[in-house]
Structure 1
Amino acid sequence: MTTRFKNLDGSGPQPFGTVFKWAVADKLAGRRRKSPDHAPVPRVEPDLTLLHTPPAPGEGARLTWLGHASWLVQLDGLSLLIDPVLRDAINVVIRRNVPPGVPIDKLPPIAASLVSHNHYDHLDLPTLVDVGAPIVTGLGHAPVFKGTRLGVTELNWWQSTQVGPVTVHFVPSQHWSRRGLNDANQMLWGGFVVEGSTARVYHSGDTAWFKGFADIGKRFPGLDAALLPIGAYDPEWFMSRQHMNPEDAARAYEALGARRFLAMHWGTFKLTDEPLDEPPRRLDTEWNRRGWPREDLHVLPVGGTLTVRAG
């Protein structure tokens, strides 16, 4: 099957030989870095009473990290989920290092679930079915949801849709997609800009560093928050084509021109070789090296909440 989608630079998925070298050959040969499957990651109990009252128009956006790339984004009276993966494990084998910030049964009513791409650590079908909200995602995803009775809105890069008073824009990322053996890049990957009356929030999805960050920043100036991945980068010879390390994420934040950096995609699932708790330490070092204001950096605990607004 020929690939349907490519990155902005024309690149496609990793060749099978490269994947085999990383996943099998280097592992058997002992060439991969070893680190524990678990590590302490801060988690707080969320204020469920607060979360069940979304900010009204004019009150900005309330952002709650649920772990990994999963967020509860609340603005203009609505609650949205982005990449919700709230079960104990993905693919049965990879178990959570830390419980989700808010369990499914404690979530407020959700107006829509935004899904950046079809990898199992971002598109968890049982979670999405249990939530029961309509789906907003990239082109080609409708077959995943066949038989679920969930409404699906598919978007191309730079297209938008309305969820009540909130505008959801689908924007490029540097990644790839696959959910089965023969569907490489048949479904479009990307990120989201969620735009309300007094807040504009960017969620990158999974992405490597790419020049598209500057394009996103130009099309959506004044981003109040950039939710950026800082984990799943080791070994970098393989992962740098699809994920960012903390230093890459700092470059992305700079290119976007966002006001605040919120870290994600670390500490929840052991997907790659670095220690689960290493990414925030590297990000902290890079932030200090650049001399940026500390108040603009937010490494929330799982379950932690931050409210942002324009101006």
Structure 2
Amino acid sequence: MPLRFKNLDGTGPQPFSTVFKWAVADKLSGRRRKSPDHAPVPHVSPDLALLATPPAPGEGARLTWLGHASWLVQLDGISLVIDPVLRDAINVVIRRNVPPGLPTHLLPPITASLVSHNHYDHLDLPTLVDVRAPIVTGLGHAPVFRGSGLAVTELDWWHSTRVGPVTVHFVPSQHWSRRGLNDANDMLWGGFVIEGSSARLYHSGDTAWFEGFHDIGQRFPHLDAAMLPIGAYDPEWFMSRQHMNPEEAVRAFEALRARDFLAMHWGTFKLTDEPLDEPPRRLDAEWTRRDLPRQHLHVLPVGGTLTVHSG
């Protein structure tokens, strides 16, 4: 059966034989890199009083890292969550290395949940039901939310919707989708550009390096912040088609021509073979090698908050 969706370069998911080699054959033969399932990752208690009230129009955007690809984004008087996965484990099997920045019951009222794609470490249905906010996501996702009581807005790449005073654009990424055995690429994956009165933000979702970063930067100039993944890259022969390593994330940041880099997708869940705490060390080394301004690199602790403004 032909795939419903493909990447901009025409590629689809990894063939089963490749997945089997990585997940089973290489593991049994000992060819995969070994690293611990846990590592120390900085975590702070968020300022709940601060987060209770979103910034007003003109006051910029407040970004709080909740772990992995999950963010609380507050601007123009509203609060959004992106890819919220706030339970103790993914599918019971993969447990958190560090608690979420905020448990669901301590989130402020959420106007919308933005979901980049249907993989379980990005679309956690119980979390989204607990958040109780309308969903904004890519084409094809409505069946996942059937019976949940959640309203769903589906977007194609480069299409937009309004969430209160804020505009949310769905933009391409280099990835794939699957939630069951027979639904490969039935649901569209992507990232988000969020535009408010005094901040323009980008969240990549899951992605490999691709030329689309240049397109996004050209269509949405003057990005104030780019939330970019730096983990889940080892082994490179398998992961590079779907995830970026830290060096590629810096390259993506430069292609986007964004001002501030905010690291994500590391340290929370042990999904691949690199040590959980390795990605920020490689990111720091690459930032230094390229002699980029230190004040624009942000590796927040889980629960940490940064406020950004246009200009």
Band of TM-score, shorter chain: over 0.9
Letter in 2 for 1:110: I
The C-alpha deviation readout for 1:79-101, integer Å capped at 9, x for no partner, is 00000000000011000000000
Q: Which residue of 2 aligns with 1:7?
A: 7
Q: Any idea what SS the aligned residue of 1:173 has?
A: coil
Where structure 1 has 5 or more consecutive residues not aligned to the other structure, the ranges are none
Equivalent runs, 1:47-196 vs 2, <5 Å: 47-196=47-196
Equivalent runs, 1:168-247 vs 2, <5 Å: 168-247=168-247
Q: Any idea what SS the aligned residue of 2:129 has?
A: helix
Root-mean-square deviation over aligned CA pairs: 0.4
Letter in 2 for 1:197: S
1:3 Cα deviation (Å)? 1.2
**TM norm structure 2:** 1.00
Q: Any idea what SS the aligned residue of 1:127 has?
A: helix
Q: Are residues 1:36 and 2:36 paired?
A: yes
Q: Which residue of 2 aligns with 1:252?
A: 252
1:122 Cα deviation (Å)? 0.0
1:2 Cα deviation (Å)? 2.6
Distance 2:292 2:131 in 1: 38
Q: Any idea what SS the aligned residue of 2:262 has?
A: strand
Distance 1:275 1:3 in 2: 34
Distance 1:69 1:165 in 2: 24
Distance 1:121 1:288 in 2: 31
Q: Any idea what SS the aligned residue of 2:307 has?
A: strand
Distance 1:218 1:77 in 2: 28
Q: Any idea what SS the aligned residue of 1:136 has?
A: strand
Q: Any idea what SS the aligned residue of 1:25 has?
A: helix
Q: Any idea what SS the aligned residue of 1:180 has?
A: coil
1:5 Cα deviation (Å)? 0.1
Distance 2:17 2:277 in 1: 30
Runs of 4 or more above 4 Å deviation: none
Equivalent runs, 1:254-273 vs 2, <5 Å: 254-273=254-273
Q: Any idea what SS the aligned residue of 2:255 has?
A: helix
Letter in 1 for 2:125: L
Distance 1:293 1:219 in 2: 24
Distance 1:309 1:14 in 2: 39
The C-alpha deviation readout for 1:113-159, integer Å capped at 9, x for no partner, is 00000000000000000000000000000000000010000000000
Q: Any idea what SS the aligned residue of 1:157 has?
A: coil
Q: Any idea what SS the aligned residue of 2:92 has?
A: coil
Distance 1:271 1:214 in 2: 28
Q: Any idea what SS the aligned residue of 1:202 has?
A: strand
Distance 1:173 1:300 in 2: 23
Distance 1:176 1:223 in 2: 25
Letter in 2 for 1:264: M
Q: Are residues 1:291 and 2:291 paired?
A: yes
Distance 1:108 1:269 in 2: 25
The C-alpha deviation readout for 1:45-82, integer Å capped at 9, x for no partner, is 00000001000000000000000000000000000000
Distance 1:99 1:3 in 2: 37
Overall identity of the aligned pairs, in %: 85
Q: How many residues align?
A: 311
